[in-house]
């Protein structure tokens, strides 16, 4: 039998599909997004459902997917990236704006009613 592992720090990474790629958070923090205006809007779609729409993020596809994944996890909902927009299911405008500001998007504003 092998050595008994008592905590998670004893474990090591076995396999990674993205070994040499930087994390999406690192890419966003390295860039300067303070001058760009990011708009967060609540929009009604079919069936009376609402989505939080994030516009004005001039990010590459991988960066956009990584940011969308993190926002979905922090809000605890679904969503996705479509046509350069991040869509988060439900009314999460008040949660998303502080997260984006902490990520370096200092000029983040709410639009619409």
The per-residue b/e assignment along 96-107, b for 16 or more CB within 10 angstroms, e otherwise, is: bbebbeebebee
Q: Where are the domains of the chain?
A: 22-111
What predicted TM-score, i.e. pTM, was given to this entire model? Answer: 0.68
User: What pLDDT is recorded for position 12?
Assistant: 64
DSSP 23: P
User: What mean pLDDT is predicted for residues 76-98?
Assistant: 94
Cα(31)–Cα(27) distance, rounded to whole angstroms?
6
User: What mean pLDDT is predicted for residues 90-99?
Assistant: 94
Query: Is domain 22-111 annotated with CATH 3.30.780.10?
Result: yes
On the question of pLDDT at 113 being above 70, the answer is no
On the question of pLDDT at 69 being above 70, the answer is yes
17-60 pLDDT, tens digit per residue, is 666 665 555 555 545 555 678 999 999 988 889 999 999 988 88
């Amino acid at each position: 039998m092998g050595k008994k592992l008592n905590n998670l720090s004893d474990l090591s990474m076995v396999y990674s599909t993205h070994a040499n790629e930087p994390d999406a958070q690192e890419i966003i923090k390295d860039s300067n997004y303070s001058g760009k205006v990011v708009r967060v809007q609540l929009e009604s779609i079919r069936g009376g459902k609402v989505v939080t729409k994030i516009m004005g993020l001039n990010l590459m596809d991988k960066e956009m997917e990584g940011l969308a994944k993190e926002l979905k996890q922090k809000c605890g909902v679904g969503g996705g990236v479509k046509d350069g927009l991040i869509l988060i299911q439900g009314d999460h405008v008040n949660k998303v704006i502080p997260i984006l500001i902490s990520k370096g998007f200092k000029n983040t504003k709410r639009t619409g009613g």
